[in-house]
Structure 1
Amino acid sequence: MKFEEYLDTLPKNVLSGEDVQLPEKTFREIFKFAALGKEDTFYHLGCHDEKGIEIANKEFNVKKAIGIDNNPEKIKNGKNNINEKKIDVELIYQNIQETDLSDATVILFWFTDEEIINEMTQKFKELKPETKIITIWGPLPNYLPDKVNFPYIINKIPFEKAKNLQEQLLAVFGVKCIDFVTAWEFAERYTKSMSGSEIKNDRFLTILQTLIIWINAKELGVTCTEEIPESIRTYIGIMKMHFDIDFEYLLK
């Protein structure tokens, strides 16, 4: 099957990130990267439960921690946990597009829905200068990242416009061109950051992400060579032979 057809076999809520809970280690890495601290008002948009805001409150001593999610069951369960643990944080059942973020200094925003991303990017522009928007895997569309520790990315207000997708991509990876080694390294970083205790699929996911990174770079004309690296051909073959996922057509 073609790669797009494979994606269609996956649950839509997983692709959108709706049911993907970040591991606690990932929250800690993100908060250290963002230098989260006692002067910060932190918002986790699409929080699922209280885990992220609890860590922000307990371990990073933020002034205020708020989680927003439009899933009433998750918010209800999260509030029950907060009450049991007596944590001074806030969970709100709400669509993130309706949330008042005017007091935010740091926002964690991990969504894949293009419409939501574009709508929220416009909303973020109205926030006070130096507010940090943390994303995972990619920066906000059309803007250069202020700081990167891949897969974690910070865009600060006011946003700096990228000249084109090529400039944005190379700014994320911090290189002049993308080769197989770069693609593999960054794919592995993403896999490790997202994986919990269940790691049996990590290599599969790393290969998948490596191919996505390199092929996207090739389409944008920012690979280090026009020739397809032997390693890329090998992994395309593995995906086709063992998983019936076809990437070959994307190289034509």
Structure 2
Amino acid sequence: MPDPMHFDRHAALYDRARPPYPDSLRDRLRQLGLLTPGRRALDLGAGSGQATRLLVDAGMDVTAVEPGPALADILQQRFPQVHVVRSTAEEYVPEPGSLDLVTIATAVHWFDLDRVLPSLRQALAPGGRVAVWRTVYGDTSVPPSLFRERVQAIADRRDAPARPGPDETETEAWARLLTAGGLFVVDHREELGWSIVLDADGIQALFTTFSDWSEAEAEQAAEAVRELGGTVVERYVTPLIVLAPAG
């Protein structure tokens, strides 16, 4: 089983290497009326603040929950106006009716949803929403690049422990899982495609932050970039699921 505290041990690298979420995600959240100045937002599993920044930039009143002490330190230093809570999502219980928006960005697969979802349902104010998204590293809707073929070959050589929950590409399965308890319904669902250019150092740093990749495997991925000309265009997907309270 991958270790969720892997990220905290690589906190500085995680903060530097993880790409920001695409502008199309921010734009969609605005279009859905979720990023509203003055409203109360909770970012669960905030890491070093990639999603927190969207909330802060929108002028929201933000609480961020992060269990990793090193990541929480980065988060608090970067956003002194944010109330940072050093806790797991399961242990943190927000006040009933206190939140207009909850964001869960590249973190939901670590949560015990039987504990977290009831707490969030009670915490939402009327009209409140829960927005769940993640970065999928690789777009399976397009033919694989030469680099993606090399990445798959590296992965095929070992028996990697599976992450909890459905596969990261299975957006509909995640939507079913998030609504299975009858507490929420899907209010909006889509997949946002985007791309980024990375060099060998960027790939090595990024892949080192993955909880199911070893440092040796990350170096192999970087070597593939060098052999393919020094840079690669990575096509990623950000699945977005917005939940509304049922009933």
Q: Name the TM-score, length of structure 1 as normaliser.
A: 0.48
Q: Which has the larger radius of gyration?
A: 1
Whichever structure has more strand as a proportion of its residues is 2
Q: Name the TM-score, length of structure 2 as normaliser.
A: 0.48
Whichever structure has more helix as a proportion of its residues is 1
Larger RCO (CA under 8 A, 6+ residues apart): 2
